[in-house]
């Protein structure tokens, strides 16, 4: 008997890769090329979900295999990665919807402002969706690479977080239209970001105009995507529209006698005062141009939902505060923006 296991090439995560290409038309797959952005990732669970259906007949104790059919199918999943100071602009754009140039602090650098568009859909006008290229490390032969391709992928939500001195992390959730698998004749050329990773030792949290002590923070951006846009005659979803964009999160600070921290925040919570909340990272390493990389996540009109300095354990009295980011009536203060300083401007 032939052993079908011996000699098999096993998928290794060290041989995997993931890249993101912008689609000009929703669901139309785009091949990996020089514009594809590749990222190191911490985890992923993206895949095609099929609904296997069968009528609920009452005249039998068992379901009939001859009546089984495939209903709707959709791509869903999460991807998490450590956040570099640059090299993930495609994802920033598809989280926010628009990018424009700003004035950098260092003349040799460039500043990109990733902003929520005001069209109501909060999606980029030139690219509605992404094609994701994913190898899970299985090399079929010496020259062929098994690659999963997910087309029509839309970012439904993103969570940015940092705990202690660890790296800043981003977890995106996606919904997509289709999945395909192929043994490519050769692997695409993969080029990862070379900029350093933003981390807790480089982050300064701001409330209003001053910084305050924080041990951990998290921001969740939810686009409230309608994932149920299926029409009869098709198993695949059409381009899913976005609902109300919400920005929420939390941070952990100390109960202390700093005016900015405990006194100001307690009063702001009592009065419902909206202020700027930002988590700004500045690299300790310098870029090739002599400037420093910068990455700031800003909620320009933030209201604290609570301020509970409860006693739960020995040691410091810590306060975990929940917050919500708001827009203002004129749209001049967005509920979320990303400020980035890097060596080159990013254009759509």
Q: Show the 3-state SS of 152-165.
A: EEEEEEEEEEEECC
Q: Report yes or no on 9 lying in a domain.
A: no
Rounded distance between C-alpha atoms, residue 219 and residue 281, angstroms: 15
Rounded distance between C-alpha atoms, residue 194 and residue 343, angstroms: 12
pLDDT at 150 > cutoff 70: yes
Rounded distance between C-alpha atoms, residue 322 and residue 232, angstroms: 42
How many CB atoms are closer than 10 A to CB 199? 19
Q: Residue with structure tokens 């080029």? A: 191
Rounded distance between C-alpha atoms, residue 36 and residue 54, angstroms: 41
Cα dihedral 30, 32, 35, 38, rounded to 10, equals 120
Q: Report yes or no on 129 lying in a domain.
A: yes
For residue 71, the model assigns a pLDDT of 87
What pLDDT band is residue 94 in, cutting at 50, 70 and 90?
very high
For residue 306, the model assigns a pLDDT of 93
Q: Report yes or no on 62 lying in a domain.
A: no
Q: Report yes or no on 254 lying in a domain.
A: yes
- Could you say which DSSP state residue 85 is in? S
Residue 142's Cβ-count burial label (10 Å; 0-12, 13-18, 19+) is exposed
For residue 188, the model assigns a pLDDT of 82
Is 65 in a helix, a strand, or coil? helix
- Give the total number of structural domains in the chain: 1
Q: What is the arithmetic mean of pLDDT over 231-253?
A: 86
Rounded distance between C-alpha atoms, residue 250 and residue 191, angstroms: 34
Rounded distance between C-alpha atoms, residue 58 and residue 283, angstroms: 66
Name residues whose C-beta falls within 8 Å of residue 293's C-beta, 6 or more positions apart in sequence.
Answer: 85, 86, 195, 196, 282, 283, 285, 287, 341, 342
* Greater pLDDT, 120 or 20: 20
For residue 345, the model assigns a pLDDT of 86
What pLDDT band is residue 162 in, cutting at 50, 70 and 90?
very high
Are 205 and 278 spatial neighbours (Cβ–Cβ below 8 Å)?
yes
Q: Report yes or no on 45 lying in a domain.
A: yes
Encode 89-151 in three state secondary structure: HHHHHHHHEEEEEECCCCCCCEEEEEEECCCCCCCCCCCCEEEEEEECCCECCCCCEEEEEEE
Name residues whose C-beta falls within 8 Å of residue 109's C-beta, 6 or more positions apart in sequence.
Answer: 287, 289, 291, 292, 341, 342, 343
What pLDDT band is residue 148 in, cutting at 50, 70 and 90?
very high
Are 45 and 148 spatial neighbours (Cβ–Cβ below 8 Å)?
no
pLDDT at 331 > cutoff 70: no
Name residues whose C-beta falls within 8 Å of residue 22's C-beta, 6 or more positions apart in sequence.
Answer: 30, 35, 90, 94, 124, 126, 127, 130, 131
Share of the chain above pLDDT 90, in %: 51
Q: Report yes or no on 292 lying in a domain.
A: yes
Among the listed residues 340, 307, 35, 316, the one whose alpha carbon sits nearest the alpha carbon of residue 168:
340
pLDDT at 120 > cutoff 50: no
* Greater pLDDT, 213 or 327: 213
For residue 229, the model assigns a pLDDT of 83
Q: Report yes or no on 177 lying in a domain.
A: yes
Q: Report yes or no on 64 lying in a domain.
A: no
pLDDT at 46 > cutoff 80: yes
Range of the domain at 251: 15-53+69-342
Please work out, in degrees rounded to the nearest 5, the angle formed at the alpha carbon of residue 82 by the alpha carbons of 34 and 96: 65
Q: What is the arithmetic mean of pLDDT over 315-338?
A: 82
């Amino acid at each position: 008997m032939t052993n079908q296991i011996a000699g098999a090439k096993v998928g290794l995560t060290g041989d995997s890769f993931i890249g993101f290409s912008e689609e000009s038309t929703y669901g139309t797959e785009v091949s990996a090329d020089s514009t594809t952005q590749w990222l190191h990732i911490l985890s992923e669970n993206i895949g095609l979900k099929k609904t296997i259906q069968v009528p609920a007949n009452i005249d039998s104790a068992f379901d009939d295999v001859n009546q089984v059919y495939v209903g709707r199918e959709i791509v869903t999943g999460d991807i998490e990665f450590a956040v570099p100071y640059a090299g993930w602009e495609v994802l920033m754009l598809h989280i926010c919807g628009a990018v424009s140039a700003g004035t950098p602090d260092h003349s040799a650098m460039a500043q990109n402002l990733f902003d929520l568009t005001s069209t109501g859909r909060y999606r980029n006008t030139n690219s509605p969706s992404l094609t994701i290229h994913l190898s899970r490390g299985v090399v079929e032969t010496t020259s062929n690479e098994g690659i999963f391709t997910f087309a029509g992928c839309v970012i439904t939500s993103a969570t940015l977080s940092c705990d202690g001195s660890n790296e800043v992390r981003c977890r995106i959730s996606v919904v997509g239209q289709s999945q395909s698998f192929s043994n490519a004749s050769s692997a695409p050329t993969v080029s990862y970001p070379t900029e350093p990773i933003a981390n807790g030792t480089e982050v300064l949290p701001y409330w209003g105009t001053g910084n305050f002590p924080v041990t951990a923070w998290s921001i969740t951006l939810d686009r409230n995507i309608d994932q149920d846009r299926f029409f009869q005659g098709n198993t695949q979803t059409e381009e899913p529209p976005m609902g109300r964009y919400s920005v929420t999160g939390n941070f952990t600070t100390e109960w202390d006698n700093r005016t900015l921290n405990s006194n100001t925040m307690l009063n702001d919570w009592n009065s419902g005062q909206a202020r700027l909340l930002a988590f700004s990272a500045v690299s300790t390493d310098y870029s090739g141009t002599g400037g420093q990389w910068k990455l700031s996540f800003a909620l320009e009109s933030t209201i604290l939902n609570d301020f509970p300095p409860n006693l739960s354990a020995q040691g410091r009295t810590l306060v975990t505060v929940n917050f919500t980011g708001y827009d203002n009536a004129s749209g001049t203060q967005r509920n979320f923006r990303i400020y980035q300083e890097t060596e080159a401007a990013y254009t759509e």
